[in-house]
Chain A
Amino acid sequence: MKSLLTRATLALTLAIFIAGPAAAHRQWMLPSATVLSGQDPWITVDAAVSNDLFYFEHVPLRLDGLTVTNPDGTPGTAENQATGKYRSTFDVHLTQPGTYKVAMASGGIMASWEENGQRKRWRGTVENFAKEVPATAQGLQVTENARRLEFFATAGKPTETALKPTGTGLELAPVTHPNDLFAGEKASFKLVLDGKPAPDLEVTIIPGGIRYRNDLGEMKVKTDKDGAFTVTWPTPGMYWLSAQAEDKKTSVPQATKRSASYIATFEVLAQ
């Protein structure tokens, strides 16, 4: 429990859970830059949960499960981590040339049951589920979640090593390099679930800057039989991409379904 979720995250996720899916707060990471040149590039990153993209207006995104993958595939470091009232921040020093993946992955079990006439809710790891949730719980409902947030940043020439999916949960397998995106051009990606093509999923893409326009500007596309989809970026800017998959591949037998979500931020440059 403690290793995966801090108390604050628990409070947040419970709040979202209780409020139900209608309260669709968006989770996101926003890098200061994704295409960099120079001798000693750094990026700084904001991480938050909010309605409008990309504004700090609700709660910070806790930095648990944050990983940096260096261009050579080795783990990197997220420096200067801090969490404030509305956002968390961290820095990444791009010491190697090439493409970095910054990801926040988490997973767990959500359970609810009746106890003394009251609905009890629990969230935790697969390991703690058996220990903390009574096996004889009345009206037990269990679901499993896997969540992943990502973005990519490149110092110098874009490389491929860090782009490789981990093979767990819902992930993006880029066809077009994610740091080579330009307004008016088409980009191709694939979604994979546990490393295998994820067909027929709805992908939502929303440009940032929502506060200063009336139209949400949301684009929806479906993955084909190979999990592939394409996006033509209408304007330059930061974009938020989100997709969700459900299946029955659960790690605890009591869970009825697994829900896997993927969220990424992409920077699209002007021509």
Chain B
Amino acid sequence: MRKRRIYTVQIASKAIVSLLFLVGGVYSCVTEYVPDGLEKASSVMVVDGLITNEISYFKLTKTVGLLEDINDIEVISNASLYIERDDGVLFQNTSYLGNGRYSVETEDLDPSRKYGLYIRSEGKEYRSEFLEPIITTAIDRINLSKAAAGEPVYVCVSTHDSSDKTPYYMWQYEEIWEVHAQLFGRLGWLPGTVLEYKVYDRNTSDNMHHCWGRDTSEVYIGAADKLAENVVIEKKLKGIEAYNDRFTVMYYVKMQQNQLRKEAYDYFYNLRESVEESGGLFPPMPTNRKGNIECISDPNTNVLGYVEVSTTAYKEHYFPEVPDIHETPPYVNECPTVYILRDSLLLDVHPPRYAPVDTLWYAFVDGPGYCLYLEVTDYSCVDCRLKGTKDRPIGWPTNNY
């Protein structure tokens, strides 16, 4: 059973309220759990990726102990891998991209052939099951949906195919959004100097006001197997709070879709289910489902992952309408500015604690000369690089740089 977090309002009668007083307290408790005597699991290779047309990407990592830091995850950087076709053709144009990531050039996949992945790592050989490529249907539409004020915004995808083709799907998307600093800082400290500043230009990229955030989503799966038509309509992928930076100026999604065979879908589904639904009242029995990769040199060596063979369909979409759905965050940085004598800032630590916003020349009334006041504020108010980068995507449809 799927349970959803939807809040419903119930009207309690007075009698029930008084019973609550009587009963008091919260019955159930959730307390932290640290297992003792947990066995030290041997590290197992994880193969993440699929064989697709043009370039296939794979990430090779290792499992870490349950209580270890996930950031300490060990990547495999010295594996050799290639893609095999069942007629003996090998695709060996492999590059290591760093951080455990590899790319293999595969050209277009031949639907009448079967493909598999070969890996050699740490003296062991692995091979994935040879599978015929699934030719993935096109994405029909990407949209955003928000049920009501206060509700999260979902990235949704729609697609359809002939109903005799596989009804299982996988999606992942890249997202880019433009984000602005809260205040426009006309000035910025010159790096390498002591309180020397420069003037920014809003109309060029020489500013700290316009930035772009980027992220890659998790992988989402969906099925139309219970439907009479092979159709997916506005499948909700990730839900994001409506006050998120993504929805302040301009939002962009590049969606990739792969159709999956049932075995792959079941493998991915099982992974999610055993994490999401464990611990409930009627939890499914947790299991380690076998993927389709095996260690061919040592059958006792375990390896995780399912290497699907499926072409990828892409669709991208800009959402200029996002400011309409954006909501005020629950906490707002007020960004007060103060005027400080420039010289008094000299006593400040280096680099300075405050970011300059503007200048104010003050003329002494009773004598010649001026003194320079600086309008300063917190960096987070003027420096958009805390929310993104200055890396403007090519062809970005706004006039901000």
Query: Do A and B make up one complex?
Result: no
